[in-house]
Amino acid sequence: MNRKKIVFVTQNKNKVFDAQKLLPEYEIEHIDKNVPEIQSLNLKEIVDFKLKYAYQIVGKPCFVMDASLFLDCLNGFPGPFIKWWFEKTVGEEKTCQIAKLFDEYACRWTTVLGYFDGKKAYFLEETIRGKLPDVPRGTNGYHWDTLFIPEGETRTFAEMSFEEKQSYAVTKKLFIKLRKIIK
């Protein structure tokens, strides 16, 4: 049986792995391209730019994703600047120290998925609330999974199995919505 192919434009191989596990009925065609991210506080605007750029590269229906982490102790910062925050400057240890300094650990994780079918763009958004740990914990997952404890849990995403994480994480919810659009 031939599976329907969908194109995912990302340099993040972990996101591709997640898509392959969560969308087993589709063949995920991975286009490994650096898609520029505009700097904006508007998540849809960021994903819209990435999606238009990606479609110009592949010339066929495709999807992109972008995640943000909003820290309550910093009035929502870094939000969509989390990649720069996490990978280039502050990192996971100092993020926990900042929350500890303010004694405010609440945060939220929002991911936006953009899909363009060649005629219409779709923007899907999911948010989960949680908190930061005192120190980064766990070895599973990627990005800031070591920093995020979903509401109702005591473990970070990085301390959970893939299946446990997906019972909380937004990715599975986004892919359920994407399925409905693609069908």
Token output for 51: 């999606």
Contacts for 70-74 with beta carbons within 8 Å, 24 or more apart? 70/107, 70/108, 70/109, 70/110, 71/95, 71/98, 71/99, 71/107, 71/132, 72/104, 72/105, 72/106, 72/107, 72/108, 73/98, 73/99, 73/101, 73/102, 73/104, 73/105, 73/106, 74/98, 74/102
Is 66 a known active-site residue? Answer: yes
3-class secondary structure, 12: coil
Q: Are 67 and 82 in contact (CB under 8 A)?
A: yes
Active-site residue (options: 66, 72, 117, 134)? 66
Which residues belong to the active site? 66
